[in-house]
Amino acid sequence: MKIGFYPRLAADGIRKNKRMFTPFILTCTGMVMMFYIILYLAVSNIVGATLRQIFALGSWVIAIFSVIFLFYTHSFLIRRRKKEFGLYNILGMGKRNIARILFWETCMIAVISISLGLIAGIAFSKFAELGMVNIMHVQVTYDLSISGIAVVRSLQVFGVIFLLLLLDSIRQVRFADAVSLLRSENAGEKPPKGNRLFGVLGVVLLAAAYYLAATIENPVSALFVFFAAVIMVIVGTYLVMISGSVLFCRLLQRKKNFYYKPNHFVSVSSMVYRMKRNGAGLASICILATMVLVIMASTACLYFGEEDAINSRYPRDINMEFRFDKLSDFSNEHTQTLKDGVLKELEKRGVFAKNAYCYRSANLYGVVKGDAVQVNNALISQAEAINSSYLFYFVPLADYNAMMGTSETLNDGEALLYSYRTDFDSQQISFLDAESFKIKKKIDTFTGGGDTAMDMLTSLMLVVPDLETSLQQIDSVANYNGDRLLQMKWICNLDTGMEPEKQIALYQDLTDTFTDSSVKERLGYTDVYTSSQAFERDDFYGLFGSIFYLGMILSLVFLLAAVLIIYYKQISEGYEDQARFSIMQKVGMTKREIRKSINSQLLTVFFFPLVLAAIHMCFAFPIVRKLLLMFNLSNVVLFATTTSVSLLVFAVFYTIVYRLTSNAYYKIVSDAREEKYRPRFR
């Protein structure tokens, strides 16, 4: 044979099947482009080390997803080509010859996809960087560059992916005879056995995942439970969809007044022959839709709520925490001396504190068992440490009343309780069998420092009559391996009314002053931690902006995957149903009746993944909200708004995809190349 024989056959096969190959090539191109852009941002100088790690992780997510998704979509291509390969085999072409055709096809697609993807990635990488810069509120640079690391890594990753696709294609052809290849498109499916058992198991898994998501209280526990719930939802969705499609078709067939109508009869009978693939395809669409909704809603909430998060973590322009070693340092005289020292340093710099509040606080880590708190790590199991861990803050009543403008009173052994990120229903709480407090009242708000917002654990704050008296026994017992577990600090937060640049200069000046050892000795504290809202704002913008940007890119990738699955589902089913509709037209079925039948078939199952994805999202709402608390974001209204908007936007997009893909399906089954089909909703 001539040298160019196999390449010509491969090119001819791609050209004749362009309806199937074009979306696949465009998808591969998009994946390469996204992968390059993410890696380009990961090595860009505009982001710090933490953000580079986030984007590097995002590149691995896209790489792994590309392997899974391209294998899934490539199965549609190879299924469509098997009939052609079977014909080649009957005409005398051996499996090795067919493997050569597959080799050249894969090489052509790989070269086209990777080349176009890299060109598009290089062209759009600067736009992506500018968009990232705009989101992060940092200085713009207009230097165009090409990342050699990103180019090489893209060639490596997608070169391996296409090699695996080639080996899988050769495997499928190698172990199939000519007859099975010819009949591969027309092979019907038997209803899966035990589908009721699968259906019940799927419902149980979904119910268990919904229960976990709805009842979780601790944000740290939510982080671990989330991944388990995701796996349960994925498996449960596939089981419910696969078995549910079988049961659903059977129920429709038993409903005589529905089934024995021309449009419904053809559509339901067509679905019966592809129950497994139909259910698996719908489940894949549902999972991808849920992923898009969760990512869009949560990352958008983080981005638009970044100011709330900043204000929670850094309540004032300047925030200072002075730490002590002894409870005796918490006397009013000592803290007043410290306060006078802070005000004096501010006056030296011509700064007058505004909206200032100062208070004493002692905190202790522990695990709640009933109404008792255990702080000895040796007696705490890992499960208890994850599910029942709390940070306890103790604030003296005098400081609380001064801060909040209240006039609360407490007797010895009584306390006011404020819970952050959790609920605590007990009316009494004891520590180490050393001290017990009766909860006199639960308070709704507390203008505290940012330490509670910073910590991942849930917090309980107890307002006690006096720190030194109330915590004397706890301090003497709360030690583990010689380490003091009770941490004591005096917190002072204030506004300056200065411009951000001047705030940062003041913050750096105060940090240098109060970290000086002579000042520490004179004012009587052991350590100090200072922070500035203006100084930290850029880091927040960078972190939240990069998460939002990565989330939008991943949403776009998953959305593209869902669209392609829908498209291939419609195209493959159209070719399978073409012969059936051709026979129906010969016995008198009109174009109008074909339209009604297609509309009935698509609307029967097409929007079910969207409905189930919306249900998944509703039950995921509580656990995702708990995870957002770890980013200092507690604005439930904002998260509900971003969730609703994401669902609405996705529903509109899904409907548009339905119209476009159903049009392609209609053209295949009716051979209506000139008539434009516009499906109507009923």
- Report DSSP letters for 445-512, one per residue: -----SHHHHSSSEEEEEEES-HHHHTHHHHHH-EETTEE--EEEEEEEEE----HHHHHHHHHHHHH
Residue 274 reports pLDDT greater than 80:
no
Could you report the per-residue pLDDT of 527-539, keeping only the tens digit for each? 998 888 888 887 7
pLDDT at residue 642, as a whole number: 92
Q: Is 509 within the bounds of a domain? A: no
Residue 244 reports pLDDT greater than 80:
no
User: Is the pTM above the cut of 0.85?
Assistant: no
pLDDT at residue 681, as a whole number: 38
pLDDT at residue 388, as a whole number: 65
Shared-domain flag, residues 431 and 578 = no
Shared-domain flag, residues 663 and 616 = yes
| Residue 36, both tokens | 């390059």
Residue 675 reports pLDDT greater than 50:
no
**Which residue, chain included where needed, has tokens 């098997």?**
82
Nearest by Cα to 103 from 156, 155, 178, 168: 168
Residue 259 reports pLDDT greater than 70:
no
Q: Which region among 307-321, 362-376, 638-652 has the lowest average model confidence (pLDDT)?
A: 362-376
Residue 72 reports pLDDT greater than 90:
no
Mean pLDDT of the chain: 78
Q: Is 269 within the bounds of a domain? A: yes
Cα separation, 540 vs 64, whole angstroms = 29
Task: State what percent of residues in the chain have pLDDT above 90.
Answer: 8
* Alpha-carbon separation of residue 69 from 28, 64, 285, 548, 590 (angstroms): 10, 9, 12, 23, 38
Residue 102 reports pLDDT greater than 80:
yes
Q: Is 639 within the bounds of a domain? A: yes
Shared-domain flag, residues 559 and 426 = no
Q: Is 523 within the bounds of a domain? A: no
Nearest by Cα to 301 from 652, 621, 649, 654: 621
pLDDT at residue 213, as a whole number: 84
pLDDT at residue 522, as a whole number: 86
Shared-domain flag, residues 348 and 221 = no
Residue 70 and residue 566 in contact, taking contact as beta carbons nearer than 8 Å: no
Domain residue limits at 629: 194-315+532-682
Task: Return all residues near 303 (Cβ < 8 A) that are at least 6 apart.
Answer: 135, 544, 545, 547, 548
pLDDT at residue 380, as a whole number: 53
pLDDT at residue 66, as a whole number: 84
pLDDT band at 488 (very low <50, low <70, confident <90, very high): confident
Residue 115 reports pLDDT greater than 90:
yes
Could you report the per-residue pLDDT of 583-608, keeping only the tens digit for each? 767 766 677 776 776 666 666 667 78
Region 65-78: mean pLDDT is 80
Cα separation, 422 vs 428, whole angstroms = 16
Any idea what the Cα angle at residue 320 is, between residues 314 and 325, rounded to 5°?
130
Shared-domain flag, residues 394 and 486 = yes
Shared-domain flag, residues 595 and 645 = yes
Residue 627 and residue 223 in contact, taking contact as beta carbons nearer than 8 Å: yes
Q: Is 514 within the bounds of a domain? A: no
pLDDT band at 107 (very low <50, low <70, confident <90, very high): very high
Shared-domain flag, residues 91 and 238 = no
Region 636-641: mean pLDDT is 90
pLDDT band at 108 (very low <50, low <70, confident <90, very high): very high
Is the model more confident about 620 or about 75? 620
pLDDT at residue 672, as a whole number: 44
Cα separation, 649 vs 293, whole angstroms = 10
In the three-class reduction of DSSP (H, G, I as helix; E, B as strand; rest coil), residue 633 is classed as coil
Q: Which residue, 187, 213, 236, sits at the end of a domain?
A: 187
Total structural domains in the chain? 3
Q: Which residue, 160, 187, 214, sits at the end of a domain?
A: 187
Chain-centroid distance, C-alpha 433: 43
Residue 384 reports pLDDT greater than 70:
no
Q: Which region among 177-181, 284-288, 360-364, 386-390 has the lowest average model confidence (pLDDT)?
A: 177-181
Q: Which residue, 142, 162, 187, sits at the end of a domain?
A: 187
pLDDT at residue 142, as a whole number: 59
Residue 501 reports pLDDT greater than 60:
yes
Backbone phi, psi, residue 109, to 5°: -65, -40
Region 503-522: mean pLDDT is 90
* Secondary structure of 452-470 in HEC code, one letter for each residue: HHHCCCEEEEEEECCHHHH
Pairing of strands 435-442, 414-420: parallel
pLDDT at residue 90, as a whole number: 76
**Which residue, chain included where needed, has tokens 């030296």?**
348
Could you report the per-residue pLDDT of 121-172, keeping only the tens digit for each? 888 887 777 776 666 665 656 566 788 888 999 999 999 999 999 998 888 8
Could you report the per-residue pLDDT of 656-669, keeping only the tens digit for each? 887 777 777 777 77
Cα separation, 268 vs 250, whole angstroms = 9
Which residues, in sequence order, are bridge partners of residue 428?
Answer: 438
In the three-class reduction of DSSP (H, G, I as helix; E, B as strand; rest coil), residue 443 is classed as coil
Q: How many residues does the chain have?
A: 682
Residue 91 reports pLDDT greater than 80:
no
Task: State what percent of residues in the chain have pLDDT above 70.
Answer: 75
Nearest by Cα to 420 from 395, 383, 384, 385: 395
Residue 306 reports pLDDT greater than 80:
yes
Chain-centroid distance, C-alpha 475: 42
Q: Which region among 28-32, 354-358, 572-576 has the lowest average model confidence (pLDDT)?
A: 572-576
Q: Is 504 within the bounds of a domain? A: no
Cα separation, 165 vs 106, whole angstroms = 8
Burial class (CB in 10 A: 0-12, 13-18, 19+), 681: exposed
pLDDT band at 30 (very low <50, low <70, confident <90, very high): confident
| Residue 657, both tokens | 């995809």
Q: Is 521 within the bounds of a domain? A: no
pLDDT at residue 677, as a whole number: 40
Query: Which helix (H) or strand (E) element contains residue 429?
Result: strand 428-431
Residue 308 and residue 633 in contact, taking contact as beta carbons nearer than 8 Å: yes
Shared-domain flag, residues 169 and 229 = no
pLDDT at residue 159, as a whole number: 94
Residue 673 reports pLDDT greater than 70:
no
Shared-domain flag, residues 563 and 551 = yes
Shared-domain flag, residues 161 and 240 = no
pLDDT at residue 163, as a whole number: 94
Shared-domain flag, residues 311 and 324 = no
Cα separation, 301 vs 223, whole angstroms = 18
Region 100-114: mean pLDDT is 91
pLDDT at residue 678, as a whole number: 44
Shared-domain flag, residues 374 and 455 = yes
Q: Is 527 within the bounds of a domain? A: no
pLDDT at residue 153, as a whole number: 92
Could you report the per-residue pLDDT of 197-208, keeping only the tens digit for each? 777 888 899 999
Residue 118 reports pLDDT greater than 90:
yes
| Residue 135, both tokens | 């989101």
Q: Which region among 87-91, 227-231, 551-555 has the lowest average model confidence (pLDDT)?
A: 87-91
Region 76-80: mean pLDDT is 77
